[in-house]
């Protein structure tokens, strides 16, 4: 008998969260009128544009180039401006060589919803990177992996912001 009541608190908490409108971050749907996202970039084959297209597929959102748009009236356009990567010095070795950097990946983009004004946005993704002059090849590979991870995080942020910036009249 006690065993059957063990799930009651869990059920009540789940019911309370569902009834108050709680949803996980990044779980906001795009408006039903939007059925395609066209991604363009200032640079041909920009790594962030490729990462964004891949992440859109993960979220089950059709994405591609502007030329492949099936219906321009129901297409959201995302324009990716050239990416910016800066390194800020954090620490040095006793010999004067750089020991640690802060990588600052700046993303500037525009979102254009059908029949709406362009919405511009900018954000930064930050990472600490330790440099070791004795292991140049390994650190180059590690830097490339860190940059790839930063691009994926930037693509996820763009998708979350896309859902939150969508016109309110189309959501419900």
Which residues are CB-neighbours of 149 under 8 A, at least 6 positions away?
Answer: 127
Mean pLDDT across the chain, nearest whole number?
82
Q: Which domain holds residue 48?
A: 24-167
Arithmetic mean of pLDDT, 131-152: 86
13 within domain boundaries? no
- Residues 77-110: b if buried by 16+ CB within 10 A, e if exposed: bbbbbebeeeeeeeeeeeeeeeeebebebebebe
pLDDT reported for residue 60: 80
* CA dist., res. 117 & res. 140, Å (int): 41
Q: How many domains does the chain have?
A: 1
pLDDT tens-digit map of 66-118: 777 777 777 889 999 999 999 998 888 888 888 898 999 999 999 998 888 89
> The domain spanning residue 77 has which CATH number?
3.30.160.150
Which residues are CB-neighbours of 154 under 8 A, at least 6 positions away?
Answer: 48, 51, 105, 107, 123, 125
Give me 155's structure tokens: 């693509």
Q: Which residue has the higher pLDDT, 34 or 172?
A: 34
pLDDT reported for residue 27: 53
Q: Which residue has the higher pLDDT, 149 or 21?
A: 149
10 within domain boundaries? no
46 within domain boundaries? yes
172 within domain boundaries? no
Q: Which residue has the higher pLDDT, 78 or 133?
A: 78
106 within domain boundaries? yes
pLDDT tens-digit map of 24-80: 555 555 666 667 889 999 887 899 999 999 998 887 888 888 777 777 777 889 999
43 within domain boundaries? yes
pLDDT reported for residue 148: 95
Q: Is residue 31 within 8 Å of 135, Cβ to Cβ?
A: no
**Is pLDDT of 172 > 70?**
no
Q: Which residue has the higher pLDDT, 72 or 125?
A: 125
**Is pLDDT of 122 > 70?**
yes
17 within domain boundaries? no
* CA dist., res. 92 & res. 118, Å (int): 43
Torsion of CA 137, 138, 139, 144, to 10 degrees: 90
Tally: H helices and E strands in the chain: 4, 6
Q: Is residue 136 within 8 Å of 82, Cβ to Cβ?
A: no
- Crossing angle for the helix pair 136-165 and 47-58, to the nearest 10 degrees: 60
């Amino acid at each position: 008998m006690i065993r059957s009541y063990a799930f009651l608190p869990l059920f009540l908490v789940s019911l309370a969260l569902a009834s108050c409108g709680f949803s996980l971050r990044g779980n906001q749907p795009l408006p039903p009128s939007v059925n395609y996202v066209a991604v363009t970039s200032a640079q041909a084959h920009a790594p962030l544009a490729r990462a964004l297209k891949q992440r859109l597929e993960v979220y089950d959102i059709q994405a591609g180039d502007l030329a492949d748009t099936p219906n321009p009236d129901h297409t959201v356009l995302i324009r990716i401006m050239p990416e910016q990567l800066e390194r800020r010095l954090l620490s040095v070795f006793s010999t004067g060589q750089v020991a640690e950097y802060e990588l600052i990946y700046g993303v500037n983009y525009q979102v254009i919803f059908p029949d709406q004004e362009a919405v511009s946005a900018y954000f930064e993704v930050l990472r600490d990177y330790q440099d070791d002059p004795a292991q140049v090849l390994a650190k180059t590979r590690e830097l490339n992996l860190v940059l790839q991870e930063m691009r994926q995080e930037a693509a996820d942020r763009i998708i979350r912001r896309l859902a939150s910036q969508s016109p309110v009249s189309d959501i419900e």
